[in-house]
Structure 1
Amino acid sequence: MIRHVVGRGIVTEKSSSAKAAPTPMKPTSMKGYLIHCVVPQQAGDYTEYAVVVEDSRGRSLWEVKRRYSVVADLRDNLDDVFDAPHCHYCKGLAAKLRALPFPAKKLFHTDDVLSQRAIDLHAYMEALLKIGANPLYRNCTLVATQAHWLLQRFFTSGQVRYLSITPRDQREGRIPCLLRQLQLTEPPLPKKHGYSKCSLAPILELAPPMAC
Structure 2
Amino acid sequence: MTDAANALRTKQKPLKDKYRSDPSSALVTLTSTGSLDAGLTCSLSAASAAKKVAGLHPAAGGSGFDATGELCSGDMLLESLVACFGVTIRAVATSMGIPIEGGSVTCQGDLDFRGTMGIKGQDGEAVPVGFKSVRLVVRLEVGEEHKGNVDKLISLSERYCVVLQTIRQGVDVKTEVEHVGIGGETNGAGEGGEQTLDNDEVIKLQ
Structure with the largest fraction of strand:
1
Larger radius of gyration: 1
Structure showing greater relative contact order (alpha-carbon pairs closer than 8 Å, 6 or more residues apart) = 1
